[in-house]
Amino acid sequence: MIKVGIVGGTGYTGVELLRLLARHPGVRISAITSRSEAGRPVTDLFPNLRGCLDLSFSGPDVKRLGDCDLVFFATPNGTAMQMVPELLETGARVVDLAADFRLGDPDEWAQWYGMPHACPELLDEAVYGLAELNRGLIRNARLVANPGCYPTAVTLGFLPLLETGLVDRWHLIADAKSGVSGAGRKASVGALMGECGESFKAYAAPGHRHLPEIRQTLSRIAGKSVGLTFVPHLVPMIRGIHATLYAGLAEEAGDLQGLFESRYRSEPFVDVLPPGAHPETRSVRGANQCRIAVHRPQGEDTAVVLSVIDNLVKGAAGQAVQNMNLMFGLEETAGLDAIALLP
| Residues catalogued as catalytic | 149
Rounded CA-CA distance 5/215 in Å is 31
Rounded CA-CA distance 243/177 in Å is 6
Question: How crowded is residue 290: how many other Cβ atoms within 10 Å of its Cβ?
Answer: 29
Rounded CA-CA distance 74/94 in Å is 11
Cβ-count burial 251-266 (b if 16+ within 10 Å, e if not): eebeebbebbbebbee
* Residue 26, C-beta contacts closer than 8 angstroms, at least 6 positions apart: 1, 2, 325, 328, 330, 334, 335
Where residue 298 falls (left for φ over 0; alpha for ψ -120 to 50; beta otherwise) is left
Residue 304's DSSP bridge partners are 246, 295
167-178 and 241-249: which strand pairing? Answer: antiparallel
Residue 213: name the closest of 108, 288, 138 by CA: 108
Rounded CA-CA distance 296/321 in Å is 34
